Amino acid sequence: MSDNAPYVKWFRESTPYINAHRGRTFVLHVSGEALLSDNLTNIIGDMVLLNSLGVRLVVVFGATVQIDQHLDALGIETRFVDGVRVTTAESLPGIQQAIGKIRSDIESRLSLGLVNSPQHGAEIVVTSGNFIRAKPYGVRDGVDFQHTGEVRKVHAKAIAGQLAAGAIVLVSSLGYSPSGEIFNVNSVEVASEVAAALIADKLIYLIDEEGLLDADGNLLTEMPMSEVPDDVDRLSPAAQAKRAAQRGVSRCHLITFNRDGALLEELFTRDGAGTQISRTSYEQIRSATSEDVAGIIELIAPLEAQGILVKRPRELLEAEIEHFIVIVRDGMIISCAALYPFGDKGELACLATHPDYRDGDRGEALLAAIEARAKSLKMTSLFALTTHTAHWFTERGFRQIDVDALPEKRRNLYNWQRNSKLFEKPLA
């Protein structure tokens, strides 16, 4: 096998994600700490790659560490109250200088075009401007925060125009008022507000940790926004990701900036590399219960009549309901699938979606849920039997194999008259 075989395999498997991300809008927050990391060169290269793949990219950068260092060098004391910097008239020019230097440094890195650089031949256009309208943070608990501000408005149309022209848009933590005042705004909040204003497809925070961890220190790869605690710091990436999700951003990601390739793993592989925070809608995917039997029967009856699915009597469904996963939309079952165990293999069966909802990737969502359940049961592969939808399975990583490869118990139940084709997919 060639030394490039793993690379070739990964590149092929990334194709669906490349197609899905093309033309989408991503907002990427790069903290001041990330800008100082040894991995920054690789992160810049990944920005260029995303741009070259057709992603519309907005980069919001932080500067807390750099501002602290610059103000310290100037001999200017800085004060934080409840995690918020008090921006005095004395410190504001120094903050502008620190942020301006970061912006020019990022522009310089993205403009690099040497032969041995990731940007060679890319000719990246980088734009920035007064995209953030700000208002004073004000006086709180007796503390006057002076030139510290909050986002009042994002000039979304101006940003969208630059993105449509193919530019990477840089947004700093400086905001401006109609009266010409300058305010220092928290960059984590800026990223959330920009993503919400653009109704971005993704909001990505590069953080120091791998992602969000559970009580045992294990990475949480996925979390509905409803499960993000309300008591987390309101200016933390988790809290601002939740806020963005509440306002329409479909997917938010928390990914480490320390590990080379983590951003690409999160965006172009099935398992990802960090924590994804998703919006909770009135569609819910969950395990089926006995109360769902009638809804499943109503959903699959037309497909059974067409011979696409094998007929399942009510009694059989009631006995096997524990194997089913359903998608419920406002109380109506619009999609279902079942997982039947056969040793270390699992059969994906009875995959069906209501015809009014077949354009929303619900089949993919069910497949992902079935795969997750199969992995939790220590299964090594999934197989499916079909007469009508062979292409759907092959497009999602299944390959056709001989019926003789069925587990013996399942092979004894095979209906030779239906002559179904057998497809299998390994579970990494």
For residue 181, the domain's CATH number is: 3.40.1160.10
Residue 378 has pLDDT above 60, yes or no: yes
At residue 115, the pLDDT reads 44
Name the band, by pLDDT with cuts 50, 70 and 90, for residue 213.
confident
Ramachandran region, residue 377 (left: φ > 0; alpha: ψ -120 to 50; beta: rest): alpha
Residue 414 has pLDDT above 50, yes or no: yes
Q: Which two tokens stand for residue 97?
A: 């200088």
Query: Are residues 191 and 254 located together in one domain of the fold?
Result: yes
Residue 416 has pLDDT above 80, yes or no: yes
Please give the biggest Cα pair distance in the chain. Answer: 85
Contact 118, 49 (CB under 8 A): yes
Nearest to 29 by CA among 187, 202, 186, 167: 187
How far is C-alpha 119 from the geometric centre of its chain's CA atoms? 25
Query: Are residues 124 and 250 located together in one domain of the fold?
Result: yes
Residue percentage of the chain with pLDDT more than 70: 95
Query: Are residues 316 and 253 located together in one domain of the fold?
Result: no
CB atoms within 10 A of CB 103: 18
Query: Are residues 165 and 150 located together in one domain of the fold?
Result: yes
- What tens digit of pLDDT does each residue of 119-136 get? 555 678 899 999 999 999
Query: Are residues 136 and 117 located together in one domain of the fold?
Result: yes
- What tens digit of pLDDT does each residue of 85-119 get? 999 999 999 999 999 999 999 998 888 754 455 55
* CA separation for the pair 40, 17 (Å, rounded): 24
Strand, coil or helix: what is 412? coil
Query: Are residues 273 and 308 located together in one domain of the fold?
Result: no
Among the candidates 216, 243, 278, a domain finishes at 278
Residue 1 has pLDDT above 50, yes or no: no
Top-confidence residue, 216 or 300? 300
Name the most confidently modeled range: 138-152, 214-228, 260-274, 299-313: 138-152
Q: Which two tokens stand for residue 81?
A: 């109250």
At residue 329, the pLDDT reads 75
Query: Are residues 131 and 245 located together in one domain of the fold?
Result: yes
Q: How many domains does the chain have?
A: 2
Q: What is the mean pLDDT of the chain?
A: 88
Question: For tokens 């022209």, what's the residue?
Answer: 165
Query: Are residues 274 and 303 located together in one domain of the fold?
Result: no
At residue 16, the pLDDT reads 77
Among the candidates 252, 278, 304, a domain finishes at 278
Query: Are residues 164 and 263 located together in one domain of the fold?
Result: yes
Domain CATH for 373:
3.40.630.30
For range 335-351, the mean pLDDT: 94
Query: Are residues 255 and 300 located together in one domain of the fold?
Result: no
At residue 112, the pLDDT reads 75
Distance of CA 250 to CAs 25, 199, 202, Å?
Answer: 11, 8, 7
Distance of CA 337 to CAs 177, 231, 310, 362, 394, Å?
Answer: 53, 37, 13, 11, 17
**What is the domain range of residue 121?**
5-278
Global pTM?
Answer: 0.66
Query: Are residues 409 and 294 located together in one domain of the fold?
Result: yes
Residue 396 has pLDDT above 80, yes or no: yes
Specify the DSSP element, H or E, that contains 32: helix 32-35
Contact 353, 296 (CB under 8 A): no
Q: Which residues pair with 168 in a beta bridge?
A: 126
DSSP 8-state secondary structure symbol assigned to residue 166: T
Query: Are residues 243 and 129 located together in one domain of the fold?
Result: yes
Helical H segments across 185-320, by residue range: 187-198, 237-246, 262-268, 293-305, 314-320
